[in-house]
Amino acid sequence: MILFTVVGSFWLEVALKVKVLKRYKQAFTAILPVSLIFIAWDAYAIHSGHWRFDREQVLGIFGPFGIPLEEYLFFIVVPFAALMTIEAVRAVKKNWKVYP
Amino acid sequence: MTYTQLAVSAVLIVVSIDLFVLKTQLLKRKLFWTSYAIIIGFQLLTNWWLTSRNIVMYDPNTIIGIRIASAPVEDLLFGFALVLGVMLNWIRLDASHKPR
């Protein structure tokens, strides 16, 4: 699923020249504070039993707080995909207002 | 707190940040809603995959019980908060990079 997200969005970097990967510093600066909060949420949710992962269907590599590796990748890949999507729409609809 | 309470809180917090704290006002832009429309389609697809195959399982006591494409409706709130949070941070950094 993570690969699906990568394949589904990262082509925009080339096709529409969204330059999200090129601006990786800005991307990480935008993503990290948000992702860290969501990882904390994930840790709390796993700890409280809100959700759990089938051990047979994950790679079996767990990071801090018992969070599967795939989940950590999710919080990097999905935000990148989101940024590429908004930049792709921006590239196609150049006259649409962006800033307040 | 239940997943439902956390998900609703997360949306309220991110919406307030967009409208009142950082005033990025993305929620007032066609740019955001068009991007989100694209993203939610893919989210429903990946949600369906991850939940219908029981890769991720939820404690019925922490969700309201409404499911869309096999996944708890709370997941959509989770995704909305994550996507809006990352995008508004990106646009904020973008605006500070280029003088207008």
**Residue range A8-67, pLDDT digits in tens:** 999 999 999 999 999 999 999 999 999 999 999 999 999 999 999 999 999 999 999 999
Q: For residue A58, which residues of chain B lie inside 8 Å, CB to CB?
A: 55
Q: For residue A4, which residues of chain B lie inside 8 Å, CB to CB?
A: 46
pTM here is: 0.96
Interface touch A30/B83, C-beta < 8 Å: no
pLDDT tops 90 at residue B96: no
pLDDT tens per residue, range B70-93: 999 999 999 999 999 999 999 999
d(CA B56, CA B37): 24
ipTM associated with this complex:
0.96
Q: Chain-wide mean pLDDT for chain B?
A: 96
Q: DSSP labels for chain B?
A: --HHHHHHHHHHHHHHIIIIIS---GGG-HHHHHHHHHHHHHHHHHHHHHHHTTSEEE-GGGS---EETTEETHHHHHHHHHHHHHHHHHHHHHHHHS--
And the tokens for A37? 């909060």
Interface touch B55/A54, C-beta < 8 Å: yes
pLDDT tops 70 at residue B98: no
Q: For residue A99, which residues of chain B lie inside 8 Å, CB to CB?
A: 91, 95, 100
The whole-angstrom distance between B66's CA and the closest CA on chain A is 15
Closest residue in A to B47 (Cα–Cα): A1
Interface touch A96/B2, C-beta < 8 Å: no
Across B4-22, average pLDDT? 98
**For the range A55-64, what are the long-range contacts, defined as Cβ-Cβ under 8 Å and sequence gap of 24 or more?**
A57/B53, A57/B54, A57/B55, A58/B55
Is residue A77 within a helix (H) or strand (E), and if so which, with residue range? helix A69-92
Interface touch A99/B91, C-beta < 8 Å: yes
d(CA B87, CA A78): 11
d(CA B86, CA B69): 24
Kindly list the domain boundaries of chain A, sorted by start residue: 2-92
